[in-house]
Amino acid sequence: MKTVLSGIRPTGNLHLGNYYGAMVNFLKMQEEYKCFFFIADWHALTTHPDPKTLNANVRNVLSEYLACGLNPEKATLYVQSDIPEIAELYLLLNMQAYLGELGKTVSFKEKARQNPNNVNAGLLTYPVLMATDILIHNANYVPVGKDQEQHLEMTRNFAKRFNNKYGVNYFNEPTAFASNQQMIKIPGLDGSGKMGKSEGNCIYLIDEPKVIEKKVKGALTDNGPEGENTAKPDCIENLFTILKVVSTQEVVDYYDNLWNTGEQKWYGNLKKQLAEDIIKVTTPIRERINDIKNDEVYLNKVIKIGAEKARESAGKTLREVREIMGFRSL
Ligand code: AMP
């Protein structure tokens, strides 16, 4: 069975973009593949979170993953820092990663530009840690967005380099998960192309209905259609994109028809409907998040089982890599 791996940095709560862009696919994958889903708390260290926040965010993400339906009996759900084997493989792979290639990485250059006072070594070697996350389970597929494509390419390079250097065919060359359908991108409610934490335009799964209503009500719109069958401006297209994932086809057709006939003054109703349908999706998830977050016993059990399963897989890889590299008993 093919192996899928995906990690998430614990930097905040999950939003509708994470849910429709990633989680919905994970829920399908866990039925069909051997899946590893992990919380990348070592990766989060590049921005120096304070200990309390880091810990709270790990608990949040884990609770939200479980509340969305990730099943710890089907997939392996774990916290990166629970797996010391990752740290050792990271050290080994770092010896074969070169300053030139690491310094050229788009995400590194971007982060260094944004934050010139914190260009730490962890930021530079971020792609090596990411490659380690993937190679430690010899994963075949990694569901990544376009922004992560370069890191995956580097992972393939590290895998090939290792195989060539030691004359083995040990590491797979992982590829981006090719989903049958087009990846959905959830836009922001501010007319921007993407809903994202750093964009500050998110509807979070944990948002109370009142908060969602307020956010949707405040979504950017235009003055209405300027005639029949005109093209929708981005801000209106964005509302329809979200409507398409949360509402029924009839609802989408109804509002599409209003747009196409050129009628005016229905945006208020559209927003009401949109908020209502988002709330329908998020309410059961929000309720589960709140239950799970307070269930210390369950969370600890999930973490423990996940760490055991992940360490079994990681330990096997590390033993084999050590052997290949010459770390044998004397
Ligand atoms: P991030 O929250 O940016 O770390 O992203 C975590 C996952 O959610 C990645 O797989 C992203 O591709 C996905 N994701 C984030 N924002 C969106 C969005 N607005 N639409 C679709 N997918 C998204």
Q: Is 72 in the pocket of ligand 1 (CB under 6 A)?
A: no
21 CA → ligand 1 middle, Å: 6
Determine the distance separating the centroid of ligand 1 and the alpha carbon of 316, expressed in angstroms.
Answer: 31
- The whole-number pLDDT of residue 181 equals 56
Ligand 1: atom nearest CA of 188 is 19
- Catalytic residue positions, numbered: 111, 194, 197
pLDDT for residue 130: 97
- Confirm or reject: Cβ of 21 under 6 Å from ligand 1: yes
Pick from 233, 244, 231, 236: nearest CA to 184: 244
Residues with pLDDT less than 70, the chain: 179-182
What are φ and ψ of residue 8, in 5° steps? -140, 135
> What are 49-61's pLDDT values in tens digits?
999 999 999 999 9
Q: In a 10 Å sphere around its CB, with 0-12 CB exposed, 13-18 middle and 19+ buried, how is residue 185 labelled?
A: middle
148 burial (CB, 10 Å; 0-12 / 13-18 / 19+) is middle
CA 81 to CA 144: how far, in whole Å?
21
* Ligand 1 touching residue 44 (CB < 6 A): no
Ligand 1 contact, 107 CB (< 6 A): no
Helix 296-325 / helix 51-68 crossing angle, nearest 10 deg: 100
Q: What are phi and psi of 314, to 5 degrees?
A: -70, -40
For each of the domains in the chain, give its residue range(s) and CATH number, in order of start: 3-184+296-325 (3.40.50.620), 209-290 (1.10.240.10)
- Exposure on the CB side of residue 166, measured as CA atoms within 13 A: 19
Nearest-CA residue for atom 14 of ligand 1:
18
Helices 249-261 and 267-293 pack at an angle, to 10 degrees, of 150
Q: Check residue 144 and give its pLDDT.
A: 80
- Supply the DSSP symbol for 187: P
User: What's the pLDDT at 327?
Assistant: 96
CB of 145 within 6 A of ligand 1: the answer is yes
Does residue 172's CB lie within 6 angstroms of at least one atom of ligand 1? no
Q: What is the dihedral of CA 242, 22, 17, 144, to 10 degrees?
A: -120
pLDDT value of residue 317: 98
Sheet strands (E) in 51-180: 76-79, 141-142, 175-176
Give the pair of three-digit tokens for residue 73.
Answer: 């009996």
Mutate to test the pocket of ligand 1, among 6, 18, 25, 46 (most ligand atoms within 8 A of CB): 18
